[in-house]
Structure 1
Amino acid sequence: MSTGPNRILDEFAKLMTDAAGAAQGMRKEVETAFRGQAERILNSMEIVQREEFEAVREMALKARAENEKLVARVAELEAKLGGGASKAAEKPAAKPRTKKTS
């Protein structure tokens, strides 16, 4: 058992350790409450989460890449056909002639 100034310093160190532990526990409680409130506010504003945004973004990028491939394939097929499909779409269909009977 220590006596004198060492005992006072030991008690003071113990008090500071306990106070630091209590402060850290309080910090965790405040942080948890803040996160919960912030999450409620964001949910009420219908803001998407980052993970959802990234998933939709990836889907859009894949769709765009696939669309570009399909456009290139259609152009290639039109070139093989001699551009017939695009020319037929540009020219109006000729009207059939009717025979006149005299």
Structure 2
Amino acid sequence: MSTGPNRILDEFAKLVTDAAGAAQGVRREVETAFRAQAERLLNSMEIVQREEFEAVREMAAKAREENARLTARIEALEAQLGGSVAAKTEKPASAATAKPRAKK
């Protein structure tokens, strides 16, 4: 058993250790309360969570890529269709030199 100044220092060290433990407990409770309050506030503001934002961003990127592919496909089909339509709509040389019809 300690006596004298050592006993006083031991008691003081124990007191400081207990105070530090209590302070950590209070800190955890304050953090928990703060987080709960912040979460309630953010939920009331209807702010999107990061996971939801990332999911929507990926969907938008995929949609843009698909849009670009479909645009290229449409342009290729239009070019292909345009070439065959142009060949069908060309007038023969004799029709181009024929007289225009008179209006009735």
Comparing 19-28 and 42-51, the one that deviates more: 42-51
Report the CA distance between 1:80 and its aligned residue: 2.5
Taking a change above 3 Å as real, the CA distance of residues 8 and 78 of structure 1, as seen in their structure-2 partners, is: same
- 1:94 — aligned with what? none
Partner amino acid, structure 2, of 1:69? R
Distance between the aligned counterparts of 1:83 and 1:22, measured in 2? 84
Q: How does 1:1-102 map to 2 (within 5 A)?
A: 1-82=1-82
Greater length-normalized contact order (CA 8 Å, ≥ 6 residues apart) = 1
Q: TM-score, normalising length from structure 1?
A: 0.76
Percent identity between the two aligned chains: 81
Taking a change above 3 Å as real, the CA distance of residues 9 and 79 of structure 1, as seen in their structure-2 partners, is: same
Taking a change above 3 Å as real, the CA distance of residues 53 and 84 of structure 1, as seen in their structure-2 partners, is: farther
Which structure's CA Rg is the greater one?
A: 2
Distance between the aligned counterparts of 2:10 and 2:83, measured in 1? 93
Structure 2 gap segments, 5+ residues each = 86-103
Structure 1 gap segments, 5+ residues each = 86-99
Report the CA distance between 1:73 and its aligned residue: 1.4
Partner amino acid, structure 1, of 2:33? A
Comparing 75-84 and 18-27, the one that deviates more: 75-84
Distance between the aligned counterparts of 2:66 and 2:47, measured in 1? 29
Distance between the aligned counterparts of 2:84 and 2:42, measured in 1? 55
Report the CA distance between 1:77 and its aligned residue: 2.0
Count of aligned positions: 86
Q: TM-score, normalising length from structure 2?
A: 0.75
Distance between the aligned counterparts of 1:83 and 1:47, measured in 2? 52
